[in-house]
């Protein structure tokens, strides 16, 4: 049974600051980042901006021209206060800095984000990390294809953002734009903050003459994000506020809630007559507080059970670890979530059925993921999105898009495909390829990076690379 706490408190006026650095602009969507709740846009002149828009990210697709009302945040990204889709475009152009070229992908950095363009065979072969470019691209069904890219200069320092993977022997591994692996050397005198695999981080790095990167500064966005306002879980009124988040701590006098986009928990005083025995740390809640006697005082506290977005028939959108995976369903549990009897199952664990054609071979039990599922009329949930540092599945408007980028040991070479053994995967991961593909540069037992894309009902090899050989297929 849900416990809902409602208190009556006297109301007094509360003066609110006006938003700083507010403005309006337009841009075509060139990438999305579900973990950051961010949309990456390019203006007509090539200027790239990263817009944090949690309420709009699922509604806006790649190629949409969008008008934004937004304010600039201290980290250089923007927090959307309003969005309006205008129309769809077929082309985009950007001014950006090259991060890396891997196979048929060109990874670029601009506007506090990293994004990727798909290349035609042989394109951009002479580009190196740090090259500043002007690029144009055409929109495909799920990605951008580079039409033209021209170098216009060189940068000795660039910005990177992505998912932290590990730090070994002074080298930090970062997954950029989901697929691309970037390694950054950490100087001996650099004091790295505490990081956990799966954390979203942004960093500055110098570009060395050999194209490698050396860390200059790093920010853990999962631990500190300065975004505030309407789209980040906070609803501020004239004399009250309501936040949605997770209980960080509670006592007989104070309750604090961790809210996305706020570096510190939001705290409210608990009146002496109120007891919070029905709540626990780690529980998703909605908290309302009023300003009275010079402080914010708790008015209402209730479990938050995942409201259906946009008046729909219900959905799940959570981050956690895969705890179960088979041919018919996937189960994700929230990492380090305290089990509370009053929570709905969506906030602790989600089991979603696979839809026709979905293939999760790029994922494994233990992977940190974001999962999205929609509820069907009969009450069961079906998978519509699953994203990890190395794999992605998106299903929408009757279209399925999947890819993965895995590193493992080459276990099989066949006339029609290859297979690698990946840590954490109980079975070899296989991808098809055209008959006669030349693999003479690879040997069984080689450590390789394999990129595959789902099409025509199967995963097809996009690229295969080792320390001594590289193969790229369109």
Residue pLDDT, tens place only, 101-126: 876 788 899 999 998 888 765 567 78
Rounded Cα distance, 188 and 215, in Å: 10
CATH class of domain segment(s) 233-303:
mainly beta
**Average pLDDT score, the chain:** 78
Lowest mean pLDDT among 221-235, 346-360, 421-435: 221-235
Indicate if the pLDDT at residue 429 is higher than 90: yes
The structure tokens 């069961």 sit at 380
Cα distance between residue 116 and residue 129, in whole Å:
14
CATH 2.40.50.320 fits 309-396, yes or no: yes
DSSP letter, residue 120: P
Residue 225's pLDDT is: 43
What is the distance between the alpha carbons of residues 181 and 165, in angstroms, rounded to a whole number?
9
State pTM to two decimals. 0.47
For residue 229, name the pLDDT band (cuts at 50, 70, 90): very low
Q: Give the residue from 38, 59, 61, 41 showing the smallest Cα distance to 49.
A: 41
Right CATH for 404-472 from 3.40.50, 3.30.40, 2.40.50, 2.60.120:
2.40.50
pLDDT digits over 364-416, tens only? 998 888 788 887 765 577 888 888 878 888 876 567 888 888 889 999 999 89
pLDDT value of position 337:
33
Give the integer Cα–Cα distance in Å for 231 and 305.
18
Q: How far is CA 364 from the centre of its chain?
A: 18
Burial 343-378 (b: 16+ CB within 10 A, else e): beebbbbbbbebeeebbbbbbbeebbbbbbbbbeee
Q: Judging by DSSP bridges, how do beta strands 254-258 and 240-250 pair with one another? A: antiparallel
**310-330 pLDDT, tens per residue?**
333 456 777 778 888 888 888
Least confident of 12-21, 79-88, 113-122, 198-207: 12-21
Q: What is the pLDDT of residue 331?
A: 86
Domain ranges of the chain: 233-303, 309-396, 404-472
Is the predicted pLDDT of residue 22 greater than 50, yes or no?
A: no
For 98-107, write each residue's pLDDT tens digit.
998 876 788 8
Strands 349-353 and 295-303 turn out to be unpaired
Instruction: Residue 46: name the closest of 110, 131, 126 by CA.
Output: 110
Strand-strand pairing, 144-154 and 131-139:
antiparallel
**pLDDT attached to residue 442:** 92
Indicate if 404-472 has the same CATH topology as 233-303: yes
- Label each residue of 393-411 as H, E or C: EEEECCEEEEEEEEEEEEE
pLDDT tens for each residue of 146-181? 888 899 999 999 999 888 888 888 999 888 875 578
């Amino acid at each position: 049974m849900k416990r809902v706490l409602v208190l009556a408190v006297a109301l007094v006026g509360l003066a609110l600051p006006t938003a700083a650095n507010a403005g309006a602009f337009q841009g075509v969507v060139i990438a999305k980042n579900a973990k950051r709740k961010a949309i990456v846009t390019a203006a007509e002149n090539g200027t790239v901006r990263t817009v944090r828009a949690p309420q709009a990210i699922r509604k806006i697709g790649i190629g949409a021209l969008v008008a934004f009302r937004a304010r600039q945040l201290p980290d250089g990204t923007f927090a959307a206060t309003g969005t309006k889709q205008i129309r769809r475009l077929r082309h985009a152009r950007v001014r950006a800095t090259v991060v890396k070229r891997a196979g048929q992908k060109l990874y670029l950095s601009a506007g506090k984000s990293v994004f990727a363009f798909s290349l035609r065979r042989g394109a951009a072969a002479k580009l190196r990390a740090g090259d500043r470019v002007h690029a144009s691209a055409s929109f495909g069904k799920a990605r951008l294809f580079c039409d033209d890219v021209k170098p216009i200069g060189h940068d000795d320092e660039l910005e990177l953002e992505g998912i932290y993977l590990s730090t070994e022997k002074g080298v930090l591994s970062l997954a950029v734009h989901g697929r691309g692996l970037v390694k950054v050397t950490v100087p001996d005198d650099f004091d790295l903050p505490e990081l956990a695999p799966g954390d979203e981080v942004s960093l500055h790095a110098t570009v060395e003459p050999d194209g490698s990167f050396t860390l200059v500064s790093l920010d853990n966005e999962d631990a500190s994000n300065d975004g505030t306002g309407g789209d980040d879980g906070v609803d501020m009124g004239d004399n009250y506020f309501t936040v949605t988040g997770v209980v960080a701590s509670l006592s007989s006098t104070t309750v604090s809630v961790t809210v996305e986009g706020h570096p510190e928990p939001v705290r409210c005083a608990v009146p002496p007559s109120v007891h919070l025995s029905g709540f626990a740390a780690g529980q998703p809640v909605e908290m309302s507080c009023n300003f009275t006697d010079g402080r914010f005082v708790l008015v209402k506290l209730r479990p938050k059970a995942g409201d259906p977005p946009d008046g729909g028939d219900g959905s799940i959108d959570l981050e956690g670890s895969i705890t179960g995976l088979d041919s018919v369903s996937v189960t994700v549990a929230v990492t380090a979530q305290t089990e509370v009897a009053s929570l709905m199952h969506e906030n602790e664990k989600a089991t979603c059925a696979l839809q026709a054609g979905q293939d999760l071979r790029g994922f494994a039990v233990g992977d940190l993921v974001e999962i999205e599922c929609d509820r069907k009329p009969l009450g069961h949930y079906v998978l519509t999105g699953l994203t990890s540092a190395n794999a992605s599945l998106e299903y929408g408007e009757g279209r399925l898009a999947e890819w993965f980028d895995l590193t493992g040991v080459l276990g099989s070479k066949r006339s029609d495909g290859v297979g690698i053994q990946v840590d954490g995967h109980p079975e070899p991961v296989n991808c098809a390829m055209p008959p006669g593909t030349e693999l003479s540069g690879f040997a069984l037992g080689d450590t390789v990076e394999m990129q595959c894309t789902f099409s025509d009902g199967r995963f097809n090899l996009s690229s295969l690379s080792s320390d001594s050989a590289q193969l790229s297929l369109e």
